[in-house]
């Protein structure tokens, strides 16, 4: 059995979509295990740019079966729209190719309204959520009053929707936010339920069976390690388990599936984050504008889901090392190396300074002993190593040997800090703009 897990090693937006696309060429299943349409995974194939929020990126490969696991929260209207967009782009979408876990939870307009009202009430301490209803949907799940996809099959589905909206209205009224009329929600959800019913399945059983038959399952994580509900920069996190172990619970796989699993950590060659929360290596003004780009290119650092400019900074080796440990990452895929072309010199955070002392591992690796995880990084100051930059455009490079020496040095230093090998490096948005490392 082969399970491969693709996980973000930073705050999301690492470019997981294109790495999934690369591995999906050899996979039988592509399965999302967490989050909802807060994610935005981009895959560029020739002149076509696919921006996927819910459906696993592997669907673009004709032989791959896409699975949306029980760990997800699904806005069925967004899903129907995404299915249509993909069909129009020539991707076949059918119940044979797209399987939805009956145990995934539904997101409704009431969840979205609550998400926006709750984050607005936080004022200056807001999380800066995507407003897609993610937090309230997971809250309902944990409170055992959520609506699951299987509820769409229930004869009293409409009444359940009405009860849910009425309940949400109580909170909305306390927050002085506009309440919702349950009737149009009910009608809309009855209609989408009819269309989605054929796609519902016991996906945990199907994936278990597939692994037993020796098929390859690619588990696709959304967001990143530092946005994980338990291990991220709490409370500035999303509400799901974004890390690699979350693939087991989010897909309903047992520990046997993890034996021999490969965990591919995707890390951008620099650091970005959307929304509030700590970011020790953040840069501002001219430096930030240069890293972020103007927004004219699809790969510039503006949110795929919300269009918000991303905060940018130097790669944080301390947090990377932490992500390696929490996920059990076996291989790294480094993305967007091309964006670093043309800099005189580059900075890499290799340690944190605390109370006047540099904290690092004896063998020069990055320090990882954050006593209470990364939630409060305010006591730490990043310690940088200055590395030479390179002028050459690397976007046409396909072999490790052809990378400029300074680019190799940068990647080797990153690898040394992480303690796991860099297997792939992306040097542009196109599917084939990838360097396979020796």
Q: Pattern of binders to ligand IMP over 40-69, x per CB under 6 A?
A: x-----------------------------
Based on CB atoms, which residue is closest to ligand IMP, 239 or 350? 239
Q: Does 227 bind ligand IMP (CB under 6 A)?
A: yes
Whole-angstrom distance, CA of residue 13 vs CA of residue 307? 12
Based on CB atoms, which residue is closest to ligand IMP, 127 or 257? 127
Burial class (CB in 10 A: 0-12, 13-18, 19+), 162: middle
> C-beta of 275: minimal distance to ligand IMP in Å?
2
**Helices and strands, counts by H and E, the chain:** 12, 21
Q: Does 129 bind ligand IMP (CB under 6 A)?
A: yes
> Which member of 21, 28, 37, 41 is catalytic?
41
> C-beta of 276: minimal distance to ligand IMP in Å?
6
Contacts with 149 (C-beta within 8 Å, 6 or more apart), sequence order: 74, 76, 100, 101, 102, 103, 104, 105, 106, 196, 200
- Does the annotation count 41 as an active-site position? yes
Q: Which of 1, 3, 13, 334 binds ligand IMP (CB under 6 A)?
A: 13
Q: Does 39 bind ligand IMP (CB under 6 A)?
A: yes
Angle at 404 between CA 400 and CA 408, to 5 degrees: 60
Based on CB atoms, which residue is closest to ligand IMP, 118 or 334? 118
Whole-angstrom distance, CA of residue 426 vs CA of residue 437? 11
Number of residues that bind ligand IMP (CB under 6 A): 21
Of 108-127, binders to ligand IMP (CB under 6 A) are 127
Dihedral of CA atoms 350, 410, 431, 436 in degrees, nearest 10, equals -110
Return the H-helix or E-strand segment holding 272. strand 271-273
> Which member of 13, 37, 115, 151 is catalytic?
13
Q: Which of 132, 141, 164, 347 binds ligand IMP (CB under 6 A)?
A: 132
**Alpha carbon distances (Å) from 291 to 19, 100, 286, 388:** 21, 38, 9, 17
Stretch that binds ligand IMP, among 5-13, 139-147, 346-354, 369-377 (CB under 6 A): 5-13
Based on CB atoms, which residue is closest to ligand IMP, 3 or 39? 39
| 39 within 8 A of 7, measured Cβ to Cβ | no
> C-beta of 386: minimal distance to ligand IMP in Å?
28
Q: Where are the beta strands (DSSP E) in 40-121?
A: 41-45, 48-52, 65-68, 73-74, 98-101, 105-106
Q: Pattern of binders to ligand IMP over 171-210, x per CB under 6 A?
A: ----------------------------------------
Count Cβ neighbours within 10 Å for each residue of 383-393 and write b for 16 or more, e otherwise.
Answer: bbeebebbeee
Of 238-257, binders to ligand IMP (CB under 6 A) are 238-239
- Which chain residues interact with ligand IMP by CB under 6 A? 11-13, 38-40, 127-130, 132, 134-135, 222-223, 227, 236, 238-239, 274-275
Give the catalytic positions in this structure. 13, 41
């Amino acid at each position: 059995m082969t399970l491969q897990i693709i996980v973000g090693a930073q705050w999301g937006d690492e470019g997981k979509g294109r790495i999934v696309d690369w591995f999906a060429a050899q996979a039988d299943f592509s399965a999302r295990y967490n989050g909802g349409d807060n994610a935005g995974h981009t895959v560029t194939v020739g002149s076509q740019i696919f921006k996927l929020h819910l459906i696993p990126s592997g669907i673009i490969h004709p032989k791959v079966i896409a699975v949306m696991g029980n760990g997800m929260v699904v806005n069925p209207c967004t899903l129907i729209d995404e299915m249509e967009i993909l069909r129009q782009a020539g991707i076949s979408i059918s119940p044979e190719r797209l399987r939805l876990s009956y145990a995934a939870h539904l997101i409704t307009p009431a969840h979205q309204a609550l998400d926006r009202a709750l984050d607005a009430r936080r004022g200056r301490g807001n999380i800066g959520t995507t407003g897609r209803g993610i937090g309230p949907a997971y809250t309902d799940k944990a409170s055992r009053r959520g609506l699951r996809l299987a509820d769409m099959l229930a004869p009293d589905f409409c009444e359940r929707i009405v009860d849910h909206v009425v309940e949400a209205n109580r909170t909305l009224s306390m927050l002085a936010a506009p309440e919702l009329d349950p009737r149009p929600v009910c009608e809309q959800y009855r209609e989408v339920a009819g269309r989605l019913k054929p796609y519902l399945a016991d996906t945990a059983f199907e994936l278990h069976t597939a692994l037993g038959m020796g098929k390859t399952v690619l588990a696709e994580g959304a967001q990143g390690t530092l946005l994980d509900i338990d291990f991220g920069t709490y409370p500035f996190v999303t509400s799901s388990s974004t890390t690699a172990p979350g693939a087991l619970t989010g897909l309903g796989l047992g520990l046997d599936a993890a034996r021999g699993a490969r965990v591919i950590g995707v890390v951008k060659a620099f650091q970005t984050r959307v929304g509030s929360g700590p970011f020790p290596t953040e840069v501002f003004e001219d430096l930030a504008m240069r890293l972020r780009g103007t927004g004219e290119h699809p790969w510039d650092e503006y949110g795929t889901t919300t269009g918000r400019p991303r905060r940018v900074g130097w790669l944080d080796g301390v947090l990377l090392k932490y992500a390696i440990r929490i996920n059990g990452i076996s291989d790294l895929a480094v993305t967007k190396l091309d964006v670093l072309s043309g800099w005189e010199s580059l900075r890499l955070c290799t340690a944190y300074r605390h109370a006047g002392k540099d904290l690092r591992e004896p063998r020069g690796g990055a320090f990882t002993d954050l006593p209470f995880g990364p939630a409060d990084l305010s006591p730490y100051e990043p310690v940088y190593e200055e590395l030479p930059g390179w002028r050459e455009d690397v976007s046409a490079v396909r072999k490790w040997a052809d990378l400029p020496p300074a680019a190799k040095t940068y990647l080797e230093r990153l690898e040394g800090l992480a303690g796991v090998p860099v297997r792939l490096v992306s040097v542009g948005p196109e599917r084939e703009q990838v360097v396979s490392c020796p």
